[in-house]
Amino acid sequence: MTVNLEVAEGVGTLRLDRPPMNALNVATQDRLKELAEEAGRRDDVRAVVLYGGEKVFAAGADIKEMRPMDHTAMVLRARDLQDAFTAVARIPKPVVAAVTGYALGGGCELALCADFRIAADNAKLGQPEILLGLIPGAGGTQRLSRLIGPSKAKDLIFTGRTVRADEALTLGLVDRVVPAGEVYAQAHAWAAKLAQGPAIALRAAKESIDTGLETDIETGLAVERNWFAGLFATPDRETGMRSFVEEGPGKAKFR
């Protein structure tokens, strides 16, 4: 298998497993979509970690596989490519990327699909597609510009340059930089903590934020309003408010 889903303590780890560089070929993309959708459905998965292993996150697309493809072939494939990454972005649960080594091209685009990114201090990230006479095709032009702003995104995409972890942190491309040996442990701890939270409220928060970023503020406020009111019908809301009144803030234990 090119991608595996391993579950422990309410955390599902989507592990890329295509050594040596986790090149994202068609089979890997399709498997990623399948397992992302499975993680979204499974009740025992309450948060997700994206991980490529200790040495590399993902070094990008499989160029050898892609090179023979002509315009017609890519027209037929491009939507499936984007759909695979969108399936990760739309997992209705908290998702953290544990970035080690290289996260380039499609690897960087995959990290962009997470809600939070923890990078190793030796990680390198970038969108080098322009050096192939291409542009990012798995969401990079859209997700990167939304995350770090259009000017910074254009710098990375126009030049194709690679940035080290410290610059990625300054740009806002990653959220935390830690020693390489601690990346997965810290990502899993972050996910495990959220896995103990109110699942429906976390889903509501993620959908409200993501939808709001893709639309006008009035539509975003309507999504927020509907989710906010709807959560008053959930047991977790009752648990949280009862615990607050009786025990003080931050002590609720959700199912």
**Annotated active-site positions, please?**
109, 129
**Which conformational region is residue 49 in: left (phi greater than 0), alpha (psi within -120 to 50 degrees), or beta?**
beta
Question: Residue 191: exposed, middle, or buried by beta-carbon count in 10 A (0-12, 13-18, 19+)?
Answer: buried
DSSP 68: T
Q: List, in sequence order, the alpha helices (H) in the chain.
A: 26-41, 63-66, 71-89, 106-112, 140-148, 150-159, 165-171, 183-195, 199-213, 217-230, 235-247
| Cis status, amide bond into 128, omega within 30 of 0 | no
Residue 10 forms beta bridges with which residues?
none
DSSP 180: G
Q: Which amino acid is at 58?
A: A
Q: Which two tokens stand for residue 229?
A: 């009111």
- The three-state secondary structure class of 80 is helix
The answer to whether 88 and 37 have CB atoms below 8 angstroms apart is no
* Side-chain-facing half-sphere of 97: CA atoms under 13 Å: 30
